[in-house]
């Protein structure tokens, strides 16, 4: 049984509007607006260098945007995220699985997971969440005492996901979960994202360049090209039929 949060679960959503961002004189995002509705899984699709990571980093307070707003509605309370520090945004209930996983390589699997629960609201549920993580990822239980840095790429991605869940987020942002994984592992990782999302009633925004895998679990999707949202597909089927997607992914 996946754990449920204490009390009635209110849904959480994310709304990004008019976001501009760049590095120095290079503009990376141009007036980007998108929404992730309560309980939705939304895919942010695009190939490398189109601004997917920058967009997620703006939401997390890692990159400071030059304009626009990011509103997170968490269990009925509205928060403007821009201007907050990364740690404050995580404390509010927005979790992030970064590109490259960013585990603590010289700490054990268990120590990494327990650090995930540093967030105060996550601490009371720590035993339950740990059990759920080990149930969902039996490999992590087998390797609980192993150093995170010594595990394979697939195991590390599982640990990164599990660690983010230990913080009991309401909204989860995932940056390229498929990067560096063998095709079979990509499919398995994407399946796990869906499983976790359902177990925790999460709202998920997932940046991914593996289009076919991402739309298997996405309710909706946005295609980002050169820092602009060029297409918003309201269903996986709509995305599948889109001309842009064909251009990008099928070389048409």
Partner 1 sequence: METSFDLLSNAVVSGVLLGGFYAAVTIGVSISFGMLDIVNIAHPAFIILGSYIAYIANATFGIDPILAAVVALPAFYLLGVAVYQIYYLAFERRGEEALRGLAFFFGLLFITEVILVLVFGVDYRLVEAPYIGPTLHVGAVDLPLRLLVPCLVALALVGGLQVFLSRTFLGRAILAVAQDQLALRLMAANPVRIKRIAFGLSIATASLAGAVLIVIQPVEPSIGRDYIGRVFAICVLGGMGSFAGTLVAAMTLGIVESLTATFYGPSWAPAVAFGFLLITLAVRPAGIFGR
Contacting residues toward partner 1, per CB under 8 A: 60, 62, 85-87, 90-91, 95-96, 98, 102-107, 111, 114-120, 123, 147, 163-164, 167
- In DSSP terms, 74 is beta-bridged to 77
Contacts of 106 (CB under 8 A, 6+ apart): 147, 148, 149
**Which is nearer to partner 1, 75 or 230 (by Cβ)?**
75
CA dihedral over 187, 238, 175, 89, signed as positive or negative = negative
**Which is nearer to partner 1, 64 or 106 (by Cβ)?**
106
**Which is nearer to partner 1, 11 or 62 (by Cβ)?**
62
Q: How far is the CB of 170 from partner 1 (least distance, A)?
A: 13
Q: Alpha-carbon distance 233 to 72, whole Å?
A: 22
Q: How far is the CB of 169 from partner 1 (least distance, A)?
A: 10
**Which is nearer to partner 1, 17 or 118 (by Cβ)?**
118
Q: How far is the CB of 183 from partner 1 (least distance, A)?
A: 27
Would you state the structure tokens that stand for residue 166, as one six-digit string? 């230990």
- In DSSP terms, 232 is beta-bridged to 222
Q: How far is the CB of 159 from partner 1 (least distance, A)?
A: 12
Three-class SS string for 140-181? HHHCCCCEHHHCCHHHHHHHHHHHHHHCCCCEEEEECCCCCC
Q: How far is the CB of 82 from partner 1 (least distance, A)?
A: 16
**Which is nearer to partner 1, 44 or 117 (by Cβ)?**
117
Query: Phi and psi dihedrals of 144, rounded to 5?
Result: -55, -30
């Amino acid at each position: 049984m996946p754990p449920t949060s204490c009390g009635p679960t209110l849904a959480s959503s994310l709304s990004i509007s008019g976001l501009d961002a760049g590095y120095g004189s290079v503009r990376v995002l141009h007036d980007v607006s998108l929404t992730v509705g309560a309980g939705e899984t939304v895919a942010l699709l695009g190939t490398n260098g189109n601004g997917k990571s920058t967009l997620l980093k703006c939401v997390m307070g890692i990159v400071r945007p030059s304009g626009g707003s990011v509103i997170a509605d968490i269990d009925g309370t509205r928060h403007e995220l821009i201007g907050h520090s990364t740690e404050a945004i995580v404390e509010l209930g927005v979790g992030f699985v970064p590109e490259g996983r960013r585990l603590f390589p010289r700490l054990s699997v268990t120590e990494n997971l327990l650090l995930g629960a540093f967030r105060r609201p996550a601490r009371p549920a720590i035993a339950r969440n740990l059990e759920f993580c080990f149930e969902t990822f039996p490999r992590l239980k087998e390797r609980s005492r192993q150093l995170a840095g010594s595990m394979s790429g697939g195991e590390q991605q599982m640990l990164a996901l599990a660690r983010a869940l230990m913080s009991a987020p309401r909204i989860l942002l995932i940056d390229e979960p498929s990067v560096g994984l063998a095709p079979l592992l990509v499919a398995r990782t994407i399946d796990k994202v869906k499983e976790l999302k359902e177990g925790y009633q999460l709202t998920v925004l997932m940046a991914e360049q593996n289009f076919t895998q991402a739309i298997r679990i996405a309710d909706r999707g946005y295609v980002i090209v050169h820092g602009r949202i060029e297409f918003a597909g309201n269903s996986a089927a709509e995305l599948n039929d889109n001309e842009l997607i064909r251009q990008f992914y099928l070389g048409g």
